[in-house]
Structure 1
Amino acid sequence: MNGDKERRATSAPLDRADERIRHDAGLAGATRAFLDRVRSGDLGALPVVIGLVIICTAFQSLNPVFLSSNNLVNLLFDCSTVGVIALGIVCVLMVGEIDLSVGSVSGFASAVVGVLWVNMEWPAWLAIFAGLVVGGAIGALYAVLFNRFGMPSFVSTLAGLLAVLGLQLYLLGSTGSINLPYGSPLVNFGQTLVMSPAVAYTLAAVTGAVIFATAFRTAARRKRAGLSARSLGSLLLRGIVITIVLELVVYYLNQDRGVPWMFGLFVALVVAMNYALTRTKWGRSMNAVGGNREAARRAGINVRRTHMTAFVLCATFAAAGGILSAARLASASQQAGTGDVNLNAIAAAVIGGTSLFGGRGSAYSALLGIIVIQSIASGLTLLDLSSSLRYMITGAVLAVAVIVDSLARRSRMSHGRA
């Protein structure tokens, strides 16, 4: 008995027992493994990070105001509204579908809140809840059309875009807009409310600690299963570096107004969705259905229910983004949700790394992608360039992201990683 324990303690991990396979160790080994993953098409967030560095460098050289703390705080406010909508787009893209009506749903939800809160004098919290429920109901309708009648999501959501926009125009009536009570908690949340420095520094430290604890737990589980795992020193170093970076970002933003609470809500939703997609049975079902629907069905996964949750979450996040946008503008208008909202939400999810082919993506795609989109918009605004250039540049970035995704997918298939 003791001899078996000793052999297990001294033997190599199960995933490194085959001597015919190269096993990388140390810093040089980690670098080689990273390069091998990139060559095989497992790019992760590398393209968007490189793109963001190029964008920031270019705009900062053209206008030194771009990376000022004041402009970055405004950028974070703007990221939060469409970013929440993009988070819903990630859900439907994960199962290989699409929702083209998120802009209309966001505008309609803001109109519902305005009518119930201002015109009918409902409590603000109840009006917000009703707006979210309406969004979820629209998503459930799309799922029924897809599951029961086989209507392609492209067609049903395109029809929904027009129908929901009509409902929004009808609800707002001839006035065309409803001003939300200025100075109310919701409007303050969308326009001015920022974290105190103590709270922001504490949350940054807690975030670093949570990242370390999660990685440590994963390493411990791998060791108990007899698999290789990262050393405690490397995990600790990674957690310390992330914490220091977050603290420096908070310090820089505090040179102006500070970290917006609305952006904090967006990040919290991203973290929660990332946990759900990576650590739960539902998240594994989303990946499986998006990767191969028939194989997922034969494996016992309830494919219809998975599609239902994806569409409902997408529409609910769209409604939440619309309500946040109304709070940001202090009004619900007929223009809410129109223009480039659909483009930016879908582009943010794809640019951030979520595959249009389904089965691959991350909640962090919405965060990274919307920062890229809003950075382009902010930089062009500071340069006083026309919106036509913003549309063309955003479209070009989206096209490049799709091309990179297609090439990476082809590379993964050739290397057996698809």
Structure 2
Amino acid sequence: MTGTENPTPLDRADIRVRHDEGASGAIRAFWDRVRSGDLGALPVVVGLIVIWTVFTALNPVFLSSANLVNLLFDSSTVGVIALGVVLMLMVGEIDLSIGSVSGFSSALLGVLWVNQGWPVALAILAAIVVGGLIGLLYAQLYNRFGMPSFVATLAGLLAVLGLQLYLLGGTGSINLPYGSPLVNFGQLLTMPAWASYALAALPGLAMLITGYRTAARRRAAGLSAHSLTGVILRAAVVTIGLELAVAYLNQARGVPWMFGLFVVLVVGMNYALTRTQWGRSMTAVGGNREAARRAGINVKAIYTSAFVFCAMFASLGGILAASRLASASQQAGTGDVNLNAIAAAVIGGTSLFGGRGSAYSALLGVIVIQSIASGLTLLDLSSSLRYMITGGVLAIAVIVDSLARRSRASHGRA
């Protein structure tokens, strides 16, 4: 072999193994992954298409740009909470107090900002920090005393709810200043066109950068890698699709700033989960705790980070919900907040068995949840149907996850 010849990549050297090349090879590899149970976001995307098709056939207003803008406003609050749930499910645990923590944080915001006269930014920061301390308490109960997360957070649900009621006192609610920047952020503010188009380009840009870096590292290690053309093509398809969606939304009020914040959090958390040592440790701990410990991962620290981040996201979601309603009340964080946040994470593709999930699960799942709620509202149907349909979709998502997990195990991909 001369020095000018390209050596065969190490993972392509065995001629007895099938190596997929080109567009047909990519399609065949995708089909093989689906057959082996590696479904990714496919079920939720198919579910969204079905849901949107049915509701649009029943009421064409559903897919109007004005209705979709309202849907994005409503998705942001629960979506931020669901992002924390994804982290807990990734390590195979659960937090049942997310609704109470979100309601307590909104009450704390109202007390500090409205009653005590704190600057709003400082009140928001204090509420999020207190939420993180609640998560830290759960982590200590779990790590030091072996208290199951189910029990620890169930106790926290009751205790934090009591704190919320105590803060609000006899009035039961605190009205936030209408017309304030925070309330406008939750109810009215949408992005200028240039900002919304820039936001739409963010996921594609992230795909391009991470894809290029991954390919470069694989080639440096003597392994095969996707061509740069393929990486650019995938990023371009995603970007064009999102840009067209933004152009459609801009026919009405445009993309809400609150949804933009949610998307930035999702993209940032996705990078942390897929491209950092912490994210790889999260996946390892959720997949097999003992194996992760023997590999040198600080398992207790990983659990602590999951509890703390989950509680902080719940606090931020409660603050966004308060800004949306311009009020902090005893009803905040109650009702179906827990159900919707956990359901969004699971429906979006995060496994209940731990070790598999994505930050984009929160985004996709909450859009499914809010699409059902919006569609039934437009049809003037009762809330009872929304609960039943959401429960049915959640059950289907768990069944699909269980069957996919069984298929992955049988194909050696678990």
Same fold (TM over 0.5): yes
Q: CA deviation at 1:211?
A: 2.3
Moved segments of 4+, more than 3 Å: 3-7
Alignment partner of 1:333 is 2:361: no
| Partner of residue 257, structure 1 | 253
| Partner of residue 344, structure 1 | 340
Alignment partner of 1:215 is 2:216: no
C-alpha distance in 2, partners of 1:314/1:233? Answer: 38
What SS does the corresponding residue of 1:170 show, helix, strand or coil?
Answer: helix
TM-score by length of 2: 0.98
Q: CA deviation at 1:4?
A: 6.3
Once the two structures are superposed, the pairs formed by residues 62-141 of structure 1 within 5 Å of their partners are 62-141=58-137
In structure 2, the CA distance between the partners of 1:206 and 1:317, relative to structure 1 (3 Å rule), is closer
What SS does the corresponding residue of 1:148 show, helix, strand or coil?
Answer: helix
- Contact in 1 for aligned 2:197/2:243 (Cα 8 Å): yes
Once the two structures are superposed, the pairs formed by residues 137-176 of structure 1 within 5 Å of their partners are 137-176=133-172
Indicate the percent of aligned positions where both proteins have the same amino acid: 77
| Partner of residue 28, structure 1 | 24
Alignment partner of 1:228 is 2:224: yes
Q: CA deviation at 1:111?
A: 0.2
What SS does the corresponding residue of 1:178 show, helix, strand or coil?
Answer: strand
1:134-159 Cα deviation digits (max 9, x unpaired): 11011001100000110000011111
In structure 2, the CA distance between the partners of 1:290 and 1:4, relative to structure 1 (3 Å rule), is farther
Which one of the candidate residues 11, 15, 19 is aligned to 1:19? Answer: 15
**Counterpart residue identity of residue 165, structure 1:** L
Alignment partner of 1:289 is 2:285: yes
Q: CA deviation at 1:310?
A: 0.3
| Partner of residue 405, structure 2 | 409
- Contact in 1 for aligned 2:203/2:267 (Cα 8 Å): no
**Counterpart residue identity of residue 402, structure 2:** S
C-alpha distance in 2, partners of 1:203/1:148? Answer: 42
**Counterpart residue identity of residue 304, structure 1:** K
Once the two structures are superposed, the pairs formed by residues 39-58 of structure 1 within 5 Å of their partners are 39-58=35-54
**Counterpart residue identity of residue 23, structure 2:** L
How large is the Cα RMSD of the aligned pairs?
1.1
| Partner of residue 4, structure 2 | 6
- Contact in 1 for aligned 2:199/2:260 (Cα 8 Å): no
Unmatched 5+ residue regions in structure 1? none
C-alpha distance in 2, partners of 1:81/1:342? Answer: 12
C-alpha distance in 2, partners of 1:88/1:198? Answer: 30
| Partner of residue 388, structure 2 | 392
Q: CA deviation at 1:217?
A: 1.9
What SS does the corresponding residue of 1:332 show, helix, strand or coil?
Answer: strand
C-alpha distance in 2, partners of 1:280/1:40? Answer: 27
C-alpha distance in 2, partners of 1:75/1:218? Answer: 35
**Counterpart residue identity of residue 334, structure 1:** Q
**Counterpart residue identity of residue 4, structure 2:** E
| Partner of residue 182, structure 1 | 178
> Bigger shift: 160-169 or 213-222?
213-222
What SS does the corresponding residue of 1:43 show, helix, strand or coil?
Answer: coil
C-alpha distance in 2, partners of 1:124/1:4? Answer: 68
**Counterpart residue identity of residue 198, structure 2:** T
| Partner of residue 315, structure 1 | 311
C-alpha distance in 2, partners of 1:270/1:196? Answer: 21
C-alpha distance in 1, partners of 2:201/2:171? Answer: 48
Q: CA deviation at 1:5?
A: 3.9
